[in-house]
Amino acid sequence: MSETSGQDGHADGHHGASIELESLTKRYPGSPQPAVDNVSMEIKAGEVVIFVGPSGCGKSTTLKMINRLIEPTGGRIRIGGEDVTDIDPVKLRRKVGYAIQSAGLFPHMTVAQNIALVPRMIGWPKPRIRSRVEELLDLVGLDPGEFHGRYPRQLSGGQQQRVGVARALAADPPVLLMDEPFGAVDPITRDHLQDELIRLQHELHKTIVFVTHDFDEAIKLGDRIAVLRERSHIAQFDTPEAILTNPADDFVSGFVGAGAALKRLNLTRVRDVEITDYPTASVDDPLQEIFNRLRASGTNEVLLLDRRGRPYKWLRRGDMMRAKGSLARAGTLVHDTVTRDATLRDALEAVLTDSAGRVAVTGRRGEYTGVVDMETLMNSVHELLEADRLEALEAQHELETARADRTHAEQEGDGGEKKA
């Protein structure tokens, strides 16, 4: 029987499950104001939703009500259409992965034992648990052979956090709750873990609810962001693009902070913008041919590629003159490249630091695919911002039309029919 329920979980796991919160409220005895006041939201299956807001705004409390670590005083929670507000919380939590700040690994258990906890509790057979542990370690980028038998204190903060995520994913739950999971690691590791999470989500398509107070993290990870103000009131719940270009009010724009256009650059990858082609030559080409190509292209410069097609040197016309038959010492070495998956922000950084204001774009194995320069970037950003603005206006318009329709329908007397 446990086998079947496990497989059900598996089937769910591949799709994620929707989460509906309906007028969720938490009131603590002795305080006049509720900690979380009447929160309603719908989270689609397979979506990454970020709760972001100042400390003490109730975002963590709201998250913990989803798996009922904190019991709501009012409202309903539905996961995958099923009302889970009154089911056994222990059963509910086994279907909902939970990862917390500084991982929360049990120090007296090995990495493998920590990951195996939930599968063991729901009664998976031993061989299946063992292979699942290996699979998960592999998934979060830790070598199973090396890390299997280690204790948490023998791991770095980043590695612990990976194991924490693996443990949360162990029984393949459709929903994953993450409570500031990367809050306690250094910025470089955090950046790395965020990239890993994005990669994981591409493979897994879980429904993820993620709490953070770091707006940049929210932009990077979220499909949609819920900006929460005190008592978990939703100030704005929308895509990162929409929040950046069209913040709902002063609170949201204050939270977005300065440099929204710069942050917007984080949301677009180099592959999404126009890459210009550049005259190139191989190190093996004869000098005369390179010279001819340079003259034919009409530019002042040619990009020299090494034998594996990777950017090697920038050659100017003057360099060629001085080369006198050998390219060995001519030109300037390419010191920085960006991949097609890099964000526009990374590309801008590289362009700004380059003396000639351009940077070579490389493919998966480091081979040359094109060049971006200042002009391309600026044009792209303008286009992006313009498109966002139009989209936001359109969405607003739609919303207003829908609202008007509803008011209209209610006035027509449909409201009475609904009640009956």
Partner 1 sequence: MTFWEYLGNRHQQLLADAYQHASAVFQCMVVATLLGVLIGVATYQSGWAGNLATLSTSTILTIPSLAMIGLLIPVVGLGVPPTVIALTLYGLLPIVRNSIVGLRGVDPSLVDAARGIGMSRLARLLRVELPLAWPPILTGIRVSTQMLMGIAAIAAYASGPGLGNVIFRGLASLGSANALNQVLAGTLGIIVLALLFDAAYVLIGRLTIPRGIRV
Applying CB under 8 A, the residues found at the interface with partner 1 are: 67, 69, 90-94, 97-98, 100-102, 104-110, 117-118, 121, 151-153, 167-168, 177
Virtual CA dihedral for 365, 369, 371, 377, nearest 10 degrees?
Answer: -90
Phi–psi pair at 45, nearest 5 degrees: -60, 135
Alpha-carbon distances of 267 from 8, 99, 241, 264, rounded to whole Å: 35, 25, 8, 5
- Least Å distance between CB 101 and partner 1? 8
For partner 1, give the closer residue by CB, 117 or 248. 117
Nearest to 350 by CA among 340, 362, 360: 360
Residues in Cβ contact with 375 at an 8 Å cutoff, skipping those fewer than 6 apart = none
Residues in Cβ contact with 324 at an 8 Å cutoff, skipping those fewer than 6 apart = none
Instruction: Round to whole Å and give the CA distance between 64 and 178.
Output: 10
Q: How many CA atoms lie within 13 A of 337 on its CB side?
A: 23
Report the Cα 190 to chain-centroid distance in Å: 12
Phi–psi pair at 92, nearest 5 degrees: -60, -45
The answer to whether residues 319 and 334 touch, using CB atoms and an 8 Å cutoff, is no
For partner 1, give the closer residue by CB, 109 or 275. 109
Q: Which residues of 112-138 are buried (b: 16+ CB within 10 A; e: fewer)?
A: bbbbbebbeebebeeeebbebbeebbe
Residues in Cβ contact with 116 at an 8 Å cutoff, skipping those fewer than 6 apart = 129, 132, 133, 170
The answer to whether residues 228 and 38 touch, using CB atoms and an 8 Å cutoff, is no
For partner 1, give the closer residue by CB, 150 or 293. 150
Both tokens assigned to 157: 């903060």
The answer to whether residues 371 and 359 touch, using CB atoms and an 8 Å cutoff, is yes
